[in-house]
Amino acid sequence: MDLKLKGKRALVTGASKGIGRACAEMLTSEGCTVLGVSRSIAPSANARAADLSLRGAAEEVAAWAGDLDILVNNAGAIPGGDLLKVDEETWRKAWDLKVFGYINLTRAVYASMKAKKRGVIVNVIGAAGEKMNAAYITGSVGNAGLMAFTRALGGTSHADGIRVLGINPGPVATDRLISLHKQMAQTKLGDAARYEELFKDMSFGRPATPEEIANTVAFFASDRSAYTSGTILTIDGGQSNR
């Protein structure tokens, strides 16, 4: 299916790996000019190294990116831990990147999208925001806040010609997830190479691929989904409904 994205200009955060890189590659394959941002990305004409947890960084990135048709907020990795294990500094640092990073960059690009009466913002959030996990309390609460942000903004942004949507991935086969499962396999099974055995309780016996998430990001960003806003789609193989 032609998503009719050719010639669109998109900015993807967290673009150096995992879901972000898959989104950047998918949008590029659909004919978009894609700008990528992450803390570790190699700088180039279409890539900028930036730490979006820092004050003023979102505004600098937005100025660098210029006129955008699509923004994909994806940067952020919130650590696990329960209320007594996660101290205030860790909590704030995690939210500065993911929660406030999403909010600040959205604010920074919204005005220019409003001026031309078109634009799409896709927030890649996380299924822990709807299926709460006390052992991942910082992530659950942060993701729930971003879900509310997406719904609140996306419910009124149509008046400005802008669509705001969210995606809640469940487990995704990123380098981070595989590394964690290798550590778990070493601890539980005595062999890190057996990490895939720990996937058996996931839907379909595996995590999603980054490309499966990126496919939906591209569809949401396209005019094939032109009447969709304020909506959050969970992609976890149904695990949130168990």
What's the chain look like in SS3?
Answer: CCCCCCCCEEEEECCCCHHHHHHHHHHHHCCCEEEEEECCCCCECCEEECCCCCCCHHHHHHHHHCCCCEEEECCCCCCCECCCCCCHHHHHHHHHHCHHHHHHHHHHHHHHHHHHCCEEEEEECCHHHCCCCCCEHHHHHHHHHHHHHHHHHHCCHHHHCEEEEEEEECCECCHHHHHHHHHHHHHHHCCHHHHHHHHCCCHHHCCECHHHHHHHHHHHHCHHHCCCCCCEEEECCCHHHC
Which of 57-61, 65-69, 136-140 bottoms out in mean pLDDT, i.e. has the lowest? 136-140
| CA-wise closest residue to 69 among 215, 181, 221 | 221
- Rounded CA separation 102/13 (Å): 9
Q: Mean pLDDT for the chain?
A: 94
- Rounded CA separation 57/51 (Å): 7
**What is the rounded average pLDDT of the residues 133-145?**
92
pLDDT reading at 151 higher than 90: yes
pLDDT reading at 239 higher than 90: no
**What is the rounded average pLDDT of the residues 185-197?**
90
What pLDDT digit, counting tens, does each position of 96-114 carry? Answer: 999 999 999 999 999 999 9
Q: Where exactly are the structural domains of the chain? A: 9-172+210-234, 174-207
CATH number of this structure's domain 9-172+210-234 = 3.40.50.720
pLDDT reading at 78 higher than 90: no
Q: Which residues contact 40 (CB under 8 A, 6 or more apart)?
A: 16, 17, 49
What pLDDT digit, counting tens, does each position of 109-131 carry? Answer: 999 999 999 999 999 999 989 88
- Rounded CA separation 81/91 (Å): 10
